């Protein structure tokens, strides 16, 4: 089930996010951004009460009806509840330790001298919260006019499945593609789980963020190699088969859409019929919100940041790297 947009703040000309949250022309300080996005709510861990049936209670219930004999008892399982709306966000173990959204804000404030805040997003009633920010000075052209920026995504989950952490991605400005590099992943993605001591580990997570910034130069050099590697339509189709694990004879419904993006997608004129174009055709379809409806844009953000879109983009980058380094 895709994560649904609940609330958010979007700045720095995030034009692709039409219809989503509060939009401003410039950036905001981290705390103001979180407050504007309604992202500073708190959560609690509560033992869930499950319905039980007791025949004796049913026999003495003079009103009868479908609820006769029903009572509620502790279940031994726990839920994470958003305190302002009482929404149940996830089911967790007894050992699960809550990390509040204030900790995610603390991460954003820790790096405030290095970044400009882009957006703060609340998904699925608060089950996931994230922010994105662009690193100052981490911007370069892959080919003249085709700019890539380095962006950090900080995230926190209350769904019992998503941890808290930070990862770096590269954004192609012309199309807002998320270029998830499969390089240096130990430095580029740092996360912790909600076990006992999670809050104590959060400081170490924050301190590790700066390490990943150094990957940007290496990744951009590799992307320039992609722009110099020629790729015709037949080779692109083979590339798609590898990224999506398509076997010969399989029907792949996205192929025509991917081919259109390869030939005439956003920014396709910068390095036409190149491996760089091939990667961006895939990331446009899987992660970009440009040209989408508001509803699809909301789902696409979650897909490109946390879901299948991010994984497919990572596979595309890794497959391209293998082609130029073989």
Domain annotation covers residue 29? yes
CB 10 within 8 A of CB 124: no
- Distance, in Å, from the CA atom of 179 to the CA atom of 120, rounded to the nearest integer, reads 20
Q: Are residues 167 and 37 in the same domain?
A: yes
R_g (Cα) of the chain, nearest Å: 23
C-alpha to C-alpha distances, 14 to 9, 132, 173, 184, 189, nearest whole angstrom: 10, 11, 10, 28, 24
Q: Are residues 201 and 313 in the same domain?
A: no
Domain annotation covers residue 89? no
Predicted local confidence at residue 138, as pLDDT: 87
Q: Are residues 141 and 15 in the same domain?
A: yes
Tally of domains within the chain: 2
Predicted local confidence at residue 232, as pLDDT: 95
Domain annotation covers residue 207? yes
Predicted local confidence at residue 201, as pLDDT: 57
Q: Are residues 257 and 193 in the same domain?
A: no
Q: Are residues 181 and 253 in the same domain?
A: no
Domain annotation covers residue 62? no
Domain annotation covers residue 17? yes
Domain span at residue 133?
A: 5-41+98-214
Residue 179's closest CA among 210, 151, 214, 209? 151
Predicted local confidence at residue 147, as pLDDT: 94
Q: Mean pLDDT, 10 residues at a time, over the chain (326 residues)?
A: 74 57 88 96 89 57 54 73 94 89 91 89 93 89 93 91 85 78 52 58 63 81 95 95 86 90 91 95 81 57 68 90 89
- Distance, in Å, from the CA atom of 282 to the CA atom of 303, rounded to the nearest integer, reads 13
Q: Are residues 169 and 192 in the same domain?
A: yes
Predicted local confidence at residue 306, as pLDDT: 64
146-157/88-92 β-pairing:
unpaired
The distance of Cα 252 from the centroid of its chain, to the nearest Å, equals 25
- Last residue of one domain, picked from the residues 190, 214, 238: 214
Q: Any bridge partners for residue 81, and if so which?
A: 44, 88
Predicted local confidence at residue 215, as pLDDT: 83
Q: Are residues 204 and 230 in the same domain?
A: no
Q: Are residues 139 and 288 in the same domain?
A: no
Domain annotation covers residue 54? no
Domain annotation covers residue 175? yes
Q: Are residues 27 and 128 in the same domain?
A: yes
List, edge to edge, every strand of the sheet that includes 88-92: 43-53, 70-82, 88-92
- Distance, in Å, from the CA atom of 131 to the CA atom of 83, rounded to the nearest integer, reads 21
Q: Are residues 161 and 271 in the same domain?
A: no
- Distance, in Å, from the CA atom of 112 to the CA atom of 48, rounded to the nearest integer, reads 39
Domain annotation covers residue 70? no
Cβ-based burial of 69 (10 A; exposed 0-12, middle 13-18, buried ≥19): middle
- Last residue of one domain, picked from the residues 165, 197, 214: 214
Q: Name the pTM for this structure.
A: 0.78
Q: Are residues 206 and 121 in the same domain?
A: yes
Q: Are residues 290 and 316 in the same domain?
A: yes
Residue 151's closest CA among 129, 175, 132? 132
- Last residue of one domain, picked from the residues 214, 231, 257: 214
Predicted local confidence at residue 2, as pLDDT: 44
């Amino acid at each position: 089930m895709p994560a649904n947009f609940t609330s958010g703040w979007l700045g720095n000309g995030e034009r692709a996010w039409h219809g989503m949250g509060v939009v401003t022309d410039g950036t905001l300080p981290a705390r103001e951004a979180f407050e504007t996005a309604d992202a500073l709510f708190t959560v609690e861990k509560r033992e869930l009460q499950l319905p039980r049936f007791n025949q004796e209670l049913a026999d003495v219930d003079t009103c009868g009806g479908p609820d006769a004999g029903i009572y509620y008892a502790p279940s031994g399982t726990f839920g994470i509840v958003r305190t302002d709306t009482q929404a149940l966000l996830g089911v967790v173990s007894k050992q699960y330790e809550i990390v509040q959204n204030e900790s995610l804000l603390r991460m954003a404030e820790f790096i405030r001298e290095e970044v400009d805040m882009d957006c703060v997003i609340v998904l699925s009633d608060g089950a996931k919260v994230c922010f994105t920010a662009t690193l100052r000075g981490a911007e370069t052209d892959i080919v003249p006019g085709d700019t890539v920026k380095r962006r950090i995504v900080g995230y926190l989950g209350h769904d019992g499945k998503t941890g808290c952490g930070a990862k770096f991605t590269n954004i192609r400005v012309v199309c807002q593609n998320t270029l998830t590099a499969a390089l240096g992943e130990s430095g580029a993605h740092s996360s912790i789980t909600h076990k006992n001591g999670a809050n104590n580990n959060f400081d170490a997570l924050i301190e590790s963020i700066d390490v990943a910034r150094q990957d940007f130069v290496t990744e951009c050099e590799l992307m320039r190699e992609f722009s110099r590697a020629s790729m015709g339509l037949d080779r692109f189709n083979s590339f798609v088969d590898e990224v999506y694990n398509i076997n010969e004879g399989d029907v792949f419904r996205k192929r025509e859409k991917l081919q259109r993006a390869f030939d005439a997608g956003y920014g396709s004129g910068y390095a036409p019929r190149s491996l760089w174009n091939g990667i961006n055709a895939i990331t446009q379809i899987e992660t970009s919100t440009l040209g989408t409806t508001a509803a699809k844009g909301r789902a696409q953000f979650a897909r490109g940041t946390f879901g299948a879109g991010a994984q497919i983009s990572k596979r595309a980058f890794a497959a391209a790297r293998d082609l130029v380094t073989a």
